[in-house]
Amino acid sequence: MSAVSGAPALELVGVSKRYGGVAANRDISLSVARGEIHAIVGENGAGKSTLMSILGGLVRADSGAILIDGREARINSPRDAAALGVGMTRQHFQLVDTMSALDNILLGDEGGALLARGRARLRAKLSGIADETGLAIDLDARAGDLPLGARQRVEILKALARGARVLIFDEPTAVLTPDEASGLFRLMKSLAGKGASILFITHKLGEALGVADRVSVLRAGERVATFDAKGLSAETLAEAMVGQRPPPRAEKPSSAPGEILVEARGMRLRGADGRALLDDVSLSLRAGEIVGVAGVAGNGQSELLEVLAGLRRPNSGTLRVAGLDIDFTRFTPAAARALGVAHIPEDRLKQGVVAGFRADHNAMLGRQREARFGGRWLNPAAITRHCADLMARWDVRPASPGLAISSFSGGNQQKLVFAREIETDPRVLLVGQPTRGVDISAIDAIHRRLTALRGAGKAILLVSAELDEILALSDRALVMRGGRIVGERAPGAANARRDIGLMMAGAAEAAA
Amino acid sequence: MRPAPVFRALAAPLAALAATGFCALAVGENPFGVFAAMVSGALGGAEPLAFTLYYATDFIFTGLAVAVAYRAGLFNIGVEGQSLVAGAGLAMAVLAGGTLPAYAPLVAGVLAAGVFGAAWAAIPGWLQARRGSHVVITTIMFNFVASALLSWLLVDPLRAPGSMQPETRAFAPGARLWKLDDALSALGSPTTGTPLNASFLLALAAAAAVHIYVFRTRAGFEAGVQAANPSAAACAGVDATRVVVRAMALSGLLASGVAVNELLGAQNRLILDFPAGAGYVGIAVALMAGSRPMMVPLAALLFGFLAQGGAELGLDYPRISPQIVVAAQGFAVLVAGAALGSRRLA
Amino acid sequence: MTMDQAYSWLSATLRLSTPLIFACFAGLWSERAGVVDVGLEGKMLAGAFAGAAAASLTGDVRLGLLAAVAASLALSFAQAWAEIERGGDQIVCGMAVNMIGAGLTAFAGAALFGEGGRTPALTAGERVTPVVAGLDALTLAAFAAAALSAFALARTKLGLRVNAAGENPGALDAAGGSVRATRHIAVAIGGALCGLAGADLSLAQAAGFLPGMSAGKGFIALAALVFAKWRPGACLATCLLFGGLDAVAIRLPDAVVPGVGAVPVQALQALPYLLTVALLAGFVGRARPPAAAGQPYRRE
Q: Which of A405-409, A434-438, C89-93 has the lowest mean pLDDT?
A: A434-438
In 3D space, the residue among A76, A83, A69 whose CA is nearest the CA of residue A11 turns out to be A69
Count interface pairs A-B at CB distance under 8 A: 67
Would you state the torsion angle of the CA atoms of residues A220, A225, A226, A232, taken in this order, to the nearest 10 degrees? -110
Is the pLDDT confidence value at C61 over 60?
Answer: yes
In 3D space, the residue among A252, A255, A320, A308 whose CA is nearest the CA of residue A278 turns out to be A308
Is the pLDDT confidence value at A439 over 70?
Answer: no
Count how many domains chain B has.
1
DSSP per residue, A314-370: -SEEEEEETTEE--GGG--HHHHHHTTEEEE-SSIIIII--TTSBHHHHHHTT-TTS
Average pLDDT over residues A246-267: 75
Is the pLDDT confidence value at B296 over 90?
Answer: yes
Distance of CA C161 to the CA centre of its chain: 22
In 3D space, the residue among B331, B328, B301, B318 whose CA is nearest the CA of residue B54 turns out to be B301
Q: What are phi and psi of A7, to 5 degrees?
A: -75, 145
Chain C environment of A110 (Cβ under 8 Å): 157, 160
Q: What is the CA radius of gyration of chain B?
A: 20
The pLDDT tens digits for A344-383 are: 988 887 888 998 899 999 999 988 888 889 889 999 999 9
User: CB C281 to CB B138 under 8 A?
Assistant: yes
**Residue A258 and residue A426: Cα distance in Å, rounded?**
15
**Residue B248 and residue B245: Cα distance in Å, rounded?**
5
Q: What are phi and psi of B241, to 5 degrees?
A: -60, -45
Q: If 0-12 CB within 10 Å is exposed, 13-18 middle and 19+ buried, where does residue C111 land?
A: buried
Between C11 and A246, the more confident residue is C11
How far off is chain B from C93, nearest CA to CA, in Å?
A: 5
Q: Provide the pLDDT confidence category of residue B343 given band limits of 50, 70 and 90.
A: very low
DSSP, collapsed to helix, strand or coil, labels residue C261 as strand
**Residue C188 and residue C76: Cα distance in Å, rounded?**
6
Domain that holds residue B171: 5-345
% of chain B beyond a pLDDT of 90: 53
User: CB A357 to CB B216 under 8 A?
Assistant: no
The structural domains of chain C, with segments of one domain joined by +, span 3-283
The pLDDT tens digits for A265-292 are: 999 999 877 778 999 999 999 999 999 9
Closest partner residue to A352 among B221, B232, B239, by Cβ?
B232
What's the pLDDT at C1? 60
Mutual orientation of helices B79-96 and B278-288 as an angle, nearest 10°?
130
The DSSP call for residue B5 is P
Chain B environment of A384 (Cβ under 8 Å): none
Amino acid (1-letter code) at residue A335: A
What's the pLDDT at B9? 67
This model's pTM is above 0.90:
no
What's the pLDDT at C271? 87
Q: What is the CA radius of gyration of chain C?
A: 19
Q: If 0-12 CB within 10 Å is exposed, 13-18 middle and 19+ buried, where does residue A335 land?
A: middle
Closest partner residue to A352 among B216, B221, B235, by Cβ?
B235
Whether omega before A398 lies within 30 degrees of 0, making that bond cis, reads yes
Closest partner residue to B237 among A337, A356, A361, by Cβ?
A337
**Residue A114 and residue C158: Cα distance in Å, rounded?**
9
A371 touches chain B (CB under 8 A): no
The pLDDT tens digits for A323-333 are: 889 998 889 88
A353 touches chain B (CB under 8 A): yes
The pLDDT tens digits for A181-196 are: 888 898 899 889 988 9
A201 touches chain B (CB under 8 A): no
What's the pLDDT at A348? 82
Is the pLDDT confidence value at C114 over 90?
Answer: no
In 3D space, the residue among B9, B15, B10 whose CA is nearest the CA of residue B327 turns out to be B15
Amino acid (1-letter code) at residue A453: L
What's the pLDDT at B106? 87
Chain B environment of C265 (Cβ under 8 Å): 152
**Residue A433 and residue A438: Cα distance in Å, rounded?**
10
User: CB A351 to CB B237 under 8 A?
Assistant: no
Q: What is the largest CA-CA distance in chain A?
A: 77
What's the pLDDT at C260? 62
**Residue A490 and residue A38: Cα distance in Å, rounded?**
35
Is the pLDDT confidence value at A444 over 80?
Answer: no
CA–CA distances in Å: residue C292 to residues A164, B31, B221: 29, 42, 30
Closest partner residue to B330 among C103, C267, C283, by Cβ?
C103
Average pLDDT over residues B45-73: 94
Q: Are strands A197-202 and A166-170 parallel, antiparallel or unpaired?
A: parallel
What's the pLDDT at A512? 35
**Residue A56 and residue A90: Cα distance in Å, rounded?**
10
User: CB B228 to CB A337 under 8 A?
Assistant: no
DSSP, collapsed to helix, strand or coil, labels residue B256 as helix
Distance of CA B122 to the CA centre of its chain: 17
Q: Provide the pLDDT confidence category of residue C132 given band limits of 50, 70 and 90.
A: confident
Between B188 and A243, the more confident residue is B188
Closest partner residue to A354 among B216, B218, B229, by Cβ?
B229
Mutual orientation of helices B79-96 and B240-259 as an angle, nearest 10°?
60
3-class SS string, A178-240: HHHHHHHHHHHHHHHHCCCEEEEEECCHHHHHHHCCEEEEEECCEEEEEEECCCCCHHHHHHH
**Residue A86 and residue A53: Cα distance in Å, rounded?**
12
B24 touches chain C (CB under 8 A): no
**Residue A263 and residue A318: Cα distance in Å, rounded?**
8
The DSSP call for residue A171 is S
- CB distance A55 to A201 below 8 Å: no
% of chain A beyond a pLDDT of 90: 33
Sheet holding A324-325, edge to edge: A276-286, A260-270, A316-321, A324-325
**Residue A9 and residue A7: Cα distance in Å, rounded?**
6
Q: What are phi and psi of B237, to 5 degrees?
A: 75, 25
Is the pLDDT confidence value at B300 over 90?
Answer: yes
Is the pLDDT confidence value at C64 over 90?
Answer: yes
A178 Cβ neighbours under 8 A, 6+ residues apart = none
What's the pLDDT at B7? 60
Identify the bridge partners of residue A358 per DSSP, sorted by sequence position.
A404
What's the pLDDT at C218? 94
The pLDDT tens digits for C227-239 are: 898 999 999 999 9
Is the pLDDT confidence value at B3 over 70?
Answer: no
Distance of CA A46 to the CA centre of its chain: 12
Q: What are phi and psi of C290, to 5 degrees?
A: -50, 135
CA–CA distances in Å: residue A258 to residues A213, A261, A343, C187: 51, 9, 21, 66
A24 Cβ neighbours under 8 A, 6+ residues apart = A17, A18, A47, A50, A221
Is the pLDDT confidence value at C191 over 90?
Answer: yes
- CB distance C71 to C48 below 8 Å: no
**Residue C108 and residue C119: Cα distance in Å, rounded?**
10
Chain A environment of B218 (Cβ under 8 Å): 368-369, 373-378
What's the pLDDT at A476? 92
What region, left, alpha or beta, does residue A266 occupy, with left being phi > 0 and alpha being psi -120 to 50 degrees? left
Topology of domain C3-283, CATH: ABC transporter involved in vitamin B12 uptake, BtuC (1.10.3470)
Q: A89 to chain C: nearest residue by CA?
A: C174
Count interface pairs B-C at CB distance under 8 A: 173
How far off is chain A from C254, nearest CA to CA, in Å?
A: 44
What's the pLDDT at C87? 87
CA–CA distances in Å: residue C154 to residues A56, A286, C147, C161: 31, 61, 11, 10
3-class SS string, A357-418: CEHHHHHHCCCCCCHHHCCCECCHHHHHHHHHHHHHHHCCCCCCCCCEHHHCCHHHHHHHHH
For chain C, list the contacting chains (3+ Cβ pairs, <8 Å): A, B
In 3D space, the residue among C201, C241, C210 whose CA is nearest the CA of residue C225 turns out to be C241
- CB distance C160 to C172 below 8 Å: no
**Residue B108 and residue A310: Cα distance in Å, rounded?**
44
**Residue C79 and residue A247: Cα distance in Å, rounded?**
63
Q: A97 to chain C: nearest residue by CA?
A: C167
Q: Provide the pLDDT confidence category of residue C255 given band limits of 50, 70 and 90.
A: low
Between B128 and C2, the more confident residue is B128
For chain A, list the contacting chains (3+ Cβ pairs, <8 Å): B, C
**Residue B26 and residue C112: Cα distance in Å, rounded?**
11
The pLDDT tens digits for C195-224 are: 999 999 999 999 999 998 998 899 999 999
Q: What are phi and psi of A260, to 5 degrees?
A: -75, 120
B339 touches chain C (CB under 8 A): yes
Q: Which of A478-487, B71-80, B93-102 has the lowest mean pLDDT?
A: B93-102
Chain B environment of C212 (Cβ under 8 Å): none
Mean of pLDDT over chain A = 85
Q: Report angle CA C125, C130, C133 to the nearest 5 degrees.
A: 160
Q: How many CA atoms lie within 13 A of C178 on its CB side?
A: 9
Identify the bridge partners of residue A17 per DSSP, sorted by sequence position.
A25
Closest partner residue to A103 among C160, C170, C176, by Cβ?
C160
Q: Provide the pLDDT confidence category of residue A251 given band limits of 50, 70 and 90.
A: low
How far off is chain C from B130, nearest CA to CA, in Å?
A: 9
H or E segment at A40?
strand A37-41
What's the pLDDT at A207? 83
Q: A57 to chain C: nearest residue by CA?
A: C174
What's the pLDDT at C300? 59
Maximum average pLDDT range among A484-488, B127-131, B149-153, B256-260: B256-260
What's the pLDDT at A249? 53
The pLDDT tens digits for B77-136 are: 999 999 999 999 999 998 887 666 778 888 889 999 999 999 999 999 999 988 888 888
Is the pLDDT confidence value at A122 over 80?
Answer: yes
Closest partner residue to A354 among B216, B232, B234, by Cβ?
B232
